[in-house]
Amino acid sequence: EVGADSRNGYTLESVREALVRQEDTIVYGLIERAKFPSNSHTYDENYAQIPASCGSLVEFIVKNTEALQAEVGRYKNPEENPFFPENLSASFVPSNPFTQFLHPGAASININKSIWKMYLQEFLPLLVTPGDDGNYAQTAASDLSLLQAISRRIHYGKFVAEVKFRDSPQDYEPLVRAKDREGLMKLLTFESVEEMVRKRVEKKAVVFGQEVSLNRDDDNNTKPKVDPSVASRLYQKWLIPLTKEVQVEYLLRRLD
């Protein structure tokens, strides 16, 4: 697994490093989606006339890609959570023995339904410019990879919570037993880390989103490929709070 430390399994340091690396994937995903205009037909249930299916093009692409990837074992990895779990068949690939690091209660946490809604209804309008270039399949494909990256980041809270719990069970256990959500939220929050994350993501959007040219004078004069403030807003408003929400949900199940 990405966040696994070779000797000790996961550590707070290794899970934080994994989250930093996932920022790259997310920022590139933003750039790829922002390449296309809104292309609203992609999301319109009445536009796509898919045989034997009702739903939008993006739903069709995500459902079917997940079904295909499930067959080759994507969801054997506890870091991955499907958007349409109802829809999946078993993997026919021999499975890689992933270390059982999480408490079994982790499997019951999947907040992709709210991630889906947030992404389509609230976030996309901030990211893309209105318009239609007819590339609906490409648009849906870029939504799929960005959604998967966002979902992985948010559900990584399970791993963060487990390392935090193991590092100080004496602090977490009483709050878990008391089902004290607020207390847990306070204990697992590190404001300074969150601020660093937001600033770094903004900087990554600036750096990854600039035009690279061999003529030095041309650099930095072009429009960024993604608005850096949209990238940091995504983290501030949704990714960080939802990662923490997953951490609380996980901890509440930790002693079951």
Ligand X SMILES: C=C(O[C@@H]1C=C(C(=O)O)C=C[C@H]1O)C(=O)O
Task: Provide the binding-site residues for ligand X, judged by CB under 6 A.
Answer: 16, 160, 188-190, 193-194, 197, 240, 243-244
H or E segment at 100?
A: none
Instruction: Pick the closer one to ligand X by CB: 61 or 102.
Output: 102
Query: Cβ of residue 165: shortest distance to ligand X, in angstroms?
Result: 12
The whole-angstrom separation of Cα 192 and Cα 92 is: 44
Shortest distance in whole angstroms from residue 162 CB to ligand X: 12
Residue 242 CB, shortest distance to ligand X, in Å, is 8
Is 19 or 70 the residue whose CB approaches ligand X more closely? 19
Q: Of 127 and 234, which has the nearer Cβ to ligand X?
A: 234
Residue 159 Cβ, how far from ligand X at the closest point, in Å? 9
Burial class (CB in 10 A: 0-12, 13-18, 19+), 160: buried
Rg (CA), the chain: 20
Rank residues 16 and 41 by Cβ distance to ligand X and give the closer one: 16
* 77 CB burial (10 A radius; 0-12, 13-18, 19+): middle
Distance CA 4, CA 242 (A): 22
